[in-house]
Each structure stands twice: as C-alpha cells, then as structure tokens.
Amino acid sequence: MAAVADFPEVKRALTNPIRREIVISYNENFTGGRNENYIEFDFSEITKESTLSSTNVEKTNIIDFSFNANFQQIQNKFERELAKYSNYISSDIEEAQRSFSEISKSISKINYEKIALEITPSNAVKFTIILNDTSILSVTKPFDKIDDLNENEVVFNLYKNRELLVSDATKVDELVKGINSYVQM
C-alpha cells in the first residue's frame, strides 16, 4: 500500500485503527503544478507503525480525521435506529444526519459507562447515558429548528439515584465539559 503513495518518508504511530486519511500538500514550487491532493488510505490491516516514502514531494502533512471508539459506537447505533425509525424524522434526512453527527462528536467526549440512543416519534434523537453507578444523563436534540433552541444546544436531564438533579437547555460543548467535571467529583 505504501508503494502507491508519492511523498517523503514519514513514520506514523497508528493508535486508532478505525479510519485514517492522509492529506498531502504539495509545495508551490512543485513542478507537477498541483497545490493539494487528498489521498485516502485504509490502515486497518497495518500494524502500529507504518513507513511511507517517496522522492517527489517536498512537504507532507498527516492529519488524523478518525474519531474515538465512542464516536464510532454512537454512529453505528444511530445508523441502526435510522434504518428502523427513519419515518419518525419529519425534516430532511440528510440534514438530520448532519445535525446528529455534529452533536455526537461532542457527546462522544463524555466519560460514560454505557450509552443508548433512540430516534423519537417527536422528530428528535434522545441519548440515555449511564455515567456511573448512581448517575444517568438524558440528552435530547430535536431535528427541526426550534425558536428557543440554537443549532448547537440540547435539552438535558441529570439524575442521581433516580432523582432529577437538573433539567435545562445548554450548548452541547458546555454540557460535556460540565458533565465530565461532575463525573470526576
């Protein structure tokens, strides 16, 4: 696979085998006249370290576009839900998928033990997240735009020992930061 590539010698530790992409940026003085090329590689069968080499390209940037295992798990659960309950989504399916992907990037950063999600008949996605033995977080994101809820905001409920501690709407990144602080206490 490495022989197909055309770029200088690079060693890269591969710690997450889900998916990797390499962006190759050509120098402006490169005689081929190209500014950038995007080449995608599947590293799933390569061991933890791989050597890639060439002689023609002066500059190579390797950018890791993969996400953690939590993100992949959430995406897989959503795809299964979408296959069963896409009729619950009254808005554009592609827009709903985009919205879900943006929210799940943040949700996947929560330190949790288990997570479940469902597409609800009310045109929303609901995450039920077990944080630890005593705490459960419920996060809901409507697919339709709601006047009182911005694009990056979610509605959440936090329970401890099955008692509601807080229920509110907030930016998803602020929620993740707060929940991770709460879990570490």
**Amino acid residing at 127:** F
Higher pLDDT, 105 or 24: 105
Cα 9 from chain centroid (whole Å): 30
Average pLDDT, the chain: 75
pLDDT score at 130:
97
Return the structure tokens found at 115: 């997570």
Which residue stretches of 86-131 are H helix? Answer: 93-107
Global model pTM greater than 0.85: no
Asked if 140 contacts 155 with a C-beta cutoff of 8 angstroms, the reply is: yes
Return the structure tokens found at 50: 């791989």
- pLDDT 10s digits, 86-145: 999 998 899 899 989 999 999 999 999 999 999 999 999 999 999 999 999 999 999 988
List beta partners, residue 118. Answer: 126
- pLDDT 10s digits, 41-88: 444 444 444 454 444 444 544 444 445 788 889 999 999 999 999 999
Phi and psi at residue 176, to the nearest 5°: -60, -45
pLDDT score at 74:
93
Q: How far is CA 37 from CA 51, 53, 56, 85, 98, in A?
A: 19, 16, 13, 39, 25
CA atoms within 13 A on the CB side of 55: 0
Measured CA angle at 45 (ends 78, 14), to 5 deg: 80
Q: What is the DSSP letter of 146?
A: B
Q: What is the DSSP letter of 148?
A: T
**Amino acid residing at 120:** T
Cα 56 from chain centroid (whole Å): 34
Instruction: List, in order, residues 6 or more apart from 92 with CB less than 8 Å away.
Output: none
